[in-house]
A and B are shown apart, each in its own frame.
Chain A
Amino acid sequence: MFNLNRPIELTERLPILKPILKSRLFQPALMMITLAGFTLAILTGLLGTPAGNRNFGIVFVWIVWWGLLILVLIPFTGRAWCAACPIPAPGEWLQRRGIINRTRGRLSSMRWRWPRRFRNMWLQNFGFLSMAIFSTIILTRPAVTAWVLLGFILIGIVLSILYENRVFCRYVCPVGGFIGLYSMVSPMALRVRDPQVCVDHKTKDCVTGNANGYGCPWMLYPGKLERNAYCGMCMECIKTCPHDNIVINLSAPGGDLLVAKERKLDEAYKAFIMLACALMYSAVLLGPWGWLKGWANMNTLPHWLLYAAGFLLVNLVGLPGLFYLTTAVARRLAGQQAPTKRLFIDYAYTLIPLGLAAWVAFSFGFVLINGSYALATASDPFGWGWNLFGTADAPWTPLGSGWVPFLQTGVLTIGLLFSTNIGYKIARQHSQTHQQAMRALLPLAGFMLLIVLIFLRLYLG
């Protein structure tokens, strides 16, 4: 029987997996495939039709890739996308002076030191928010999407020249930030089989690298890895570990959220920002209010400024402020000893499963409805009248428009229950007794129920 408390070692159950992951060709092959798609998205964005639903760049980035990422990859495989992501590829290949084989010597970079005050998620938080206030423009204009993607690649290259390893992915990438946050809900994880083996191992090849591979590009020590948040699953440590001690596990989803010593304010804020953005996007993009879409679409600058100010206020003050009050009530009800700020940070992690569910629900609302555009744009990526696969004239066919609200309700319910259960476990970490934890949980559950009810109002009410 499946024991939720004992991880399943996927690399042991599927023996074919280990040689694939150990192969030096594995990651570059994935990256080359995605880089080809990425390049096409940039080219079509810059040169193709400005009609978003007829442009490969818009349809394949914001519908196909986004749908795959949020509905499948993050919930089930955590950060697996980061292993295939093309954005850091050019920079990393330049640093390594090669693509497939392990090149000798140190990485080529200016070896600057990444500032200590930025060794957290804050840059990713503000990067994501900066994009989010322009999202209506980015999502609908192929040229803007292309420039954003190109900008990411250029920043990745510049940071690879200045700093060793994947500084861009770890500290800057706005997408990587939320993938890392939500990957803590995923059941799939890279871990060590026996931590004592790592303790006893003197040379720490997973950090320094050896002839088989590079030291961890994400600047982690896999021996102490307890969460998925910052592991990009590049599999270098699987290649370098001389004791074959690195494995891919399947374990109970959400276990990472209970690692108390790793909880920080920057990650807590990421949870608020992501939940608030899902709520705002559901209202702006999927709601019936044309004037609001106009504001977000920058029809007039004053209205957009008002929109951006409101957006930032809800993200940075409104939702976190309401949650702070909820935490204060929970602390008082339960008579907990920890400072309110500590509890505010810790309890924010209860919102992570709900936040992921909210994004899944929001994405159902447009990925299924607009997914059929992919057929036409695959055949005619630039919108120039090509018909490569004979599907250029495929009509827009909304998928499951009648049952999307039911899917959204189901996903939100699962997210609420998952979050409430995690909330109890976190409350238990701060409580002497079960009753105390339950008293702390009630306001948190009330807060999350309120959030779900707002979503239901938007989707079904």
Chain B
Amino acid sequence: MTTHAMHRSNLLLAGILLLALVWLAFPPATSATTTRHIHLDMTQFEFTPSRIQVNQGDHVIITLTSSDVVHGFYLDGYEIQQRVEPGIPQQIEFVADRSGKFRFRCSVSCGSLHPFMIGELVVASNTSYYGAIGLVSVALAGLLIYLWQFKAEPHEQMPA
């Protein structure tokens, strides 16, 4: 490969990396933090609502109820756990200080589909999601550039 072509591909790679860094450094803007009151009801084998969206820094208060059997609530990443019996609401509260998508799941065996009774808490801005998209795209672009430039036979190289 010619020095010029190599230089050009390096510049392209650097450009893509820079874009990815900018993307990670300045994620989509979020609104001001606030206190969120959410009612989350559990039945076999779903949560209602199944997806909760808050902003990073929000003070989240969730009232948990069960409409059929004993369920549990476990929030991935925050490791909050609460047992919920029918007719006895429970309350949990936390500050959503970590952004991303966190699954909440039933933590008390409640029937056949218990391990798959799952809901989602999305704490915006979901930087890990956008970061993952950036990572995958940059990695693929990098590989394509590598293949384009470095896998060519000597007589097939791109003109400088």
Contacts and interface: CB of A to CB of B under 8 A. Distances in A.
Interface of A: 50-54, 136, 140-141, 285-291, 293-294, 297, 366, 369-370, 396, 398, 401-402, 404-406, 409, 412-413, 416-417, 420-421, 424, 433-435, 438, 441-442, 445, 449, 452-453, 456-457, 459-461
B129 interface: yes
Which one of A141, A417, A460 has the highest number of Cβ atoms from chain B below 10 Å of its Cβ? Answer: A460
Given A402-B77, A460-B100, A461-B129, A288 B140 contact: no
Given A140-B116, A290-B45, 7 more contacts: A140-B112, A293-B116, A405-B100, A417-B143, A434-B156, A456-B132, A459-B101
B140 A420 contact: yes
A291 B113 CA distance: 12
Contact of B115 (A52, A141, A459): A52
Interface in B110-160: 111-120, 126, 128-129, 132-133, 135-137, 139-140, 143-144, 147-148, 151-153, 156
Interface of B: 43, 45-48, 50-51, 74, 76-77, 79, 100-103, 105, 107, 109, 111-120, 126, 128-129, 132-133, 135-137, 139-140, 143-144, 147-148, 151-153, 156
B114 A52 contact: yes
Contacts of B152: 434-435
Given A53-B109, A293-B113, A438-B147, A449 B137 contact: yes
B109 A401 contact: no
Contact of B118 (A286, A402, A452): A286
A452 B43 CA distance: 32
A421 B143 contact: yes
19 contacts: A51-B111, A52-B112, A53-B109, A136-B113, A286-B116, A288-B103, A290-B117, A294-B45, A369-B105, A396-B107, A402-B76, A409-B135, A413-B135, A417-B143, A438-B148, A449-B140, A460-B100, A460-B126, A460-B128
Contacts of B118: 286-288
Nearest to B153: A434
Per CB-CB distance, the 8 closest pairs between chain A and chain B, nearest first, are A290-B46, A401-B76, A288-B50, A402-B77, A460-B129, A140-B112, A409-B132, A434-B152
B151 A424 contact: yes
A141 B115 CA distance: 12
Contacts of A136: 113, 116
Contacts of B79: 401-402
Nearest to B51: A288
A288 B135 CA distance: 25
Contacts, number: 133
Contacts of B105: 369
B144 A290 contact: no
A460 B132 contact: yes
A434 B129 CA distance: 34
Contact of A297 (B47, B112, B132, B153): B112
A286 B156 CA distance: 47
Which one of B111, B120, B140 has the highest number of Cβ atoms from chain A below 10 Å of its Cβ? Answer: B140
A441 B151 CA distance: 13
Which one of B45, B100, B132 has the highest number of Cβ atoms from chain A below 10 Å of its Cβ? Answer: B132
Nearest to B45: A293
A445 B140 contact: yes
Contact of A404 (B76, B119, B137): B76
Given A51-B109, A449-B137, A452-B136, A405 B101 contact: yes
A334 to B, nearest CB: 14
A409 B130 CA distance: 11
Which one of A401, A404, A412 has the highest number of Cβ atoms from chain B below 10 Å of its Cβ? Answer: A401
A152 to B, nearest CB: 22
A333 B109 CA distance: 54
Contacts of B126: 460-461
A141 B136 CA distance: 37
